[in-house]
Amino acid sequence: MLVTARAPARAAIQPDAMPEAPLTDSTPRPSPTENHLLINAYTTHPESPLLPVTRRIADSGCNLVDARLATVGRDVSVTALATGSWDSVAKLEAMLTRLEREEGLKLVWYRTGPKQTQSNLLPYIVEVIAADKPGILFQLADFFDRQGITIENLQSTRYRAMQTGAEMFSAQVTIGVPANMHIAALRDDFLEFCDHLNLDAIMDPMKF
């Protein structure tokens, strides 16, 4: 049994005193439309999952807030982030289940949340070109990970140089650099890293 001690009379709340704050969570509740569903869909080129996925998002009453389409090898992939009410997202999940079963698309989806704002990160663009060899992308990712720098977006490819036929590697990377990091020192370390691996690279701030 919980026993509460009686407060002294002088501690009693006076008529004009402010009442104590209610014992509830002060964090505002999310709005009913803040349910997020991340969808990944795959088909074999020349077919594309873009039309069937975006149609289901629209028909369910959800809103498409972000999307990516890429052709990698012979396959086409779409990544889409949809938001809506709980009922709309549940309806979309049911529609995706039918889509996967009836049209043979490879689909993966799950509930998620909004991306947290990271105003302490400065966006920079990194471009790398080199003669292709195993492990370049891993070494780039490892360098930024050791520096505590996040990779926000990345696209890499191997191609054959039109003039010489040499196998080449190319990567475009968007990174988030902590605002308290010394940019000149980071650039020097990165260029030294690239020189060691014989990579031709630049690192510039994103201007938009």
- Give pLDDT tens digits for 54-105: 999 999 999 999 999 999 989 999 999 999 999 999 999 999 999 999 888 8
pLDDT at 119: 82
Residue 126 lies in a domain: yes
**CATH number of 87's domain:** 3.30.70.260
What are the pLDDT digits (tens) for 10-41? 444 344 444 443 433 344 455 655 899 999 99
Q: Indicate whether 63 and 103 sit together in one domain.
A: yes
Residue 195 lies in a domain: yes
| pTM to 2 decimal places | 0.73
Closest CA to 70 of 43, 30, 52: 43
Closest CA to 170 of 204, 124, 128, 126: 128
Last residue of a domain, one of 80, 112, 144: 112
Residue range(s) defining the domain that contains residue 146: 121-205
Single-letter amino acid, residue 25: D
Domains identified in the chain, total number = 2
Last residue of a domain, one of 112, 146, 167: 112
200 or 33, which is more confident: 200
